[in-house]
Amino acid sequence: MTSLKICGMTNSSHVRLAASKGVSMLGFILVPTSPRYCHPEHAGLYIRWLRQHYPQTKSVIVLVSDNPDDIRATHKTLSPDFIQWHTSLKADEFNRLHISGLIKVFSVQGLMTEADILAYEADYYLFDTYRKGQHGGTGRPFDWEWIPKSLMPKAIIAGGLRPKDILPLVSKYHPYAVDLNSTLEISRGIKSPARIEKAIRFWKKTATR
């Protein structure tokens, strides 16, 4: 079954809600300029709480950095299940960082080749819509055909997904995970519990397809 990732979590009650409903992955953005910024101390509390109470819900720390030492430090300090890494580093530099749970982010502008993606030795690959000067959370979709179908088992699809997009995306492409963020918000950085639950309902319908 395709996993559901909800990113940009900032509210403890929303974390509890999503975890209690079985959401697969929850993302915490450690980028101070983001409207969805989560302080590292709070992220650490969420990670420990999830591991204790809902270990099936995996934690994802989101970082924007071209310095591998930032990734190593966060991995050591917070011990998340995954680190979603937005970086402009070339593949050979990226691959020098030998830690588990890496998600390499690609900002999609057009057709992508399997070779270009697999040059990065990551556990999973997240595909989001390109927008100049913005790292994710664009609220804008891209053409899913731009992603090689052979890579869908390791693909996390983001880019303005709405709850109603989950069924057609999963039914046709079967990615590893779908990632919702800004479309679940009632204002920038503030999610709606009702929209979170709606996304979960659509996601659970994919189990019967």
Question: In the 8-state DSSP scheme, what is residue 58?
Answer: E
What confidence score (pLDDT) does residue 133 get? 52
Band (pLDDT 50/70/90 cuts) for residue 1 is very high
What confidence score (pLDDT) does residue 204 get? 96
- The residues pairing with 23 across neighbouring beta strands, listed in sequence order, are none
Question: In the 8-state DSSP scheme, what is residue 127?
Answer: E
Q: What is the rounded CA–CA span in Å between residue 114 and residue 99?
A: 22
In one-letter notation, the amino acid at residue 133 is G
Q: What is the rounded CA–CA span in Å between residue 91 and residue 89?
A: 6
Band (pLDDT 50/70/90 cuts) for residue 174 is very high
Alpha helices by DSSP H, listed for 67-206, are 68-78, 91-94, 114-118, 166-173, 193-205
Q: What is the rounded CA–CA span in Å between residue 193 and residue 55?
A: 21
In one-letter notation, the amino acid at residue 18 is A
pTM for the structure as a whole: 0.94
Q: In the predicted model, is pLDDT for residue 139 greater than 80? A: no
Q: What is the rounded CA–CA span in Å between residue 20 and residue 42?
A: 19
SS3 assignment, position 158: coil
Q: In the predicted model, is pLDDT for residue 173 greater than 90? A: yes
Q: What is the rounded CA–CA span in Å between residue 52 and residue 50?
A: 5
- Token couple for 11: 């509210």
